Amino acid sequence: MNHTRTLWEEGREPGRQVVALGAALALTAVVIDVAVVGRVSLFFDLCFVTMCVAVALAVRPTDFFTVGVLPPLVMLGVFTLLAFSRPEVIADRGDGVVQAVVSGLSHHSVALVVGYLLCLGCLAVRQRMGRRPAAATPERGDYAANRSGSPAPRRTTSG
């Protein structure tokens, strides 16, 4: 019997690679958004939410914690880079670095919250699906009990 993996079982990438992928996707979205619109806009927000779900589905189960803390750190890192290099794309032109980061985070807080919740939700579903026992099949010699909690049937002989 061939077991096809579900969407929740697919992720097998190491945490380091997924972090690098998430940062690269977020920075790419910023570059495209600033080149087209001139500011960080809704396009970045949509890409950020998509990135949060993508990294949660791509990471291997042993590295769930790494991805579980990734979304706020990626957004903070991206906005810190922008605050040092081009603060006018996330805040007012005269704002300092700290004020630009705070403005950027507050303007894009909905995307941060939605992306973070979706990321944690995907990780929770993957964690739950990973703990689920495989279905019993007679071909493998497995026999399921009639009710959950009842022991597996046994053959006994009298006499």
Phi, psi of 144 (to 5 degrees): -80, 150
- The predicted-structure confidence for 5-46, as pLDDT tens digits, reads as follows 666 677 889 999 999 999 999 999 999 999 999 999 999 999
CA-based torsion, 74, 80, 83, 86: positive or negative: negative
* 13 SS3 class: strand
| Phi, psi for residue 150 in degrees, rounded to 5 | -90, 150
pLDDT digits (tens, 9 = 90+) for 97-155: 999 999 999 999 999 999 999 999 999 999 988 776 555 445 545 545 455 666 666 67
**The whole model's pTM is what?**
0.78
Amino acid at 70: L
